[in-house]
Structure 1
């Protein structure tokens, strides 16, 4: 057999790469990540019209029953563990906490929910949690305890910062609430914001507190405002709260602050110069004595009184007669 020519040697890597690509194309594609090949939902209805959650109601001390359907659509056996979670999770007991399903099968697992004797009338919620195959499915469970209900809703901790209004909603009663919110803001020169009452996208369970924000993109640049929130819900639940805020432009505020600081600095500098000038004036030495003018010497003896002139003419005449 003759040795391969240079052309054949160059073609050999190309043929090898083409063969490898062909083999890769024949291999089955890797499974893509997607939804689990099993499901858990309340028993009843069809796959297209399944119950969205388990709903039970009864008086305190009542044992309520329902079923959870677990379906294994995969090609391998599946082990699923069941438990309760949330407020009513401690009330739920399953007939089996662990269920093993062969491929392409389903199982209906009975569950019992015992309403505590001291349960407050109203609505409570929780979840039935199914875990298997590295996935977790949560099925909502809602329970209504029959008895007198109290709807009480509160809004608190209102804050206004820039273009955002923050607040908190609290369900102080024993009924499930769907709050509605109205927002109004008043400034120095009139109404700045007036949003009519609208439903909020949430359900507030008894005892639950939720912190929320309300956007205010067109908040004023210069004003003193008062923002008032009003919340309502069915059953006569209602509450109001307000907060105040002052809006100042950043640049003028900084410029005014610098101007004030400059004025204060000028006043302080003038006072300092005046104190320096006062200290520079000449002052007498603390031990210097005042200059003393010499007094004229005192005369010895009493002062001589002036005598009147003596008339000598009579004396001369008397001498001549003699």
Structure 2
């Protein structure tokens, strides 16, 4: 019988629950079930009426230091009243669990449960509250340095293009579009007036799938797996483009965007230079996450990397560029 290496495994939820019961100070017997798979695996734990989330990071996806820095960031935000799902220590005071899976050593962290639910189509008032919460996050973390990735031209554009080149032929229509657009974006980002752009910690993935909203409109952010260092306006650009993707009514999109920006600026003012950059950074983030999808192809198979997906992907970017008169 031949034994082959394992790329990724999904741990038994019931056995993981038993393991975690020995590590944490739960009040009752823990019920554990898989909640979400992808790059990482999330498990929902129920301890009587209490809920927590246990994230099991994929093998070799994040270093222990990177996870420690994510924890440091979340503890800082929680201590300063920013609404986030925060890490919970075990009975010994440790935040990171080490679990030997078939593919190798994996790390896991227990997080508080974010009250509320995911809402794909925000109301204008919800958009306002999201703006307030994001600004509070940026206010606390401006000029904070994390021992994690720094998002810049290299990591947002150059490296993702290299990942994409492993999937598409040099003469393909898709590759021509990506290379041409990346070159234009690199040149545009060289023009940034850094004195007018705030730097610090960024989430880089704030959209409806990574926040819960309660019935009274309170917002809680979670899944800081892509947090790092960079221009904080990146988070505004990402939220903007995700709102653009999910709100098909142009007037409603504009109204909700305006409320989001109004909420944000009750806490922190957005400079004219940051506002100018948002359309370009939005496209840069589209390309960044395309690179992630190529890099982690085996997590999703061909769900993302398909001809049909790229027709839609390029169409959305072109629609965005037309709206903002980019590269004209």
User: What range is the shorter-chain TM-score in?
Assistant: under 0.3
- Higher strand fraction: Structure 1 or Structure 2? 1
> What TM-score, normalized to structure 1?
0.22
- Higher RCO (C-alpha 8 Å, min separation 6): 2
- For the pair shown, the structure with the greater C-alpha radius of gyration is 1
Looking at secondary structure, tell me which structure has more helix per residue: 2
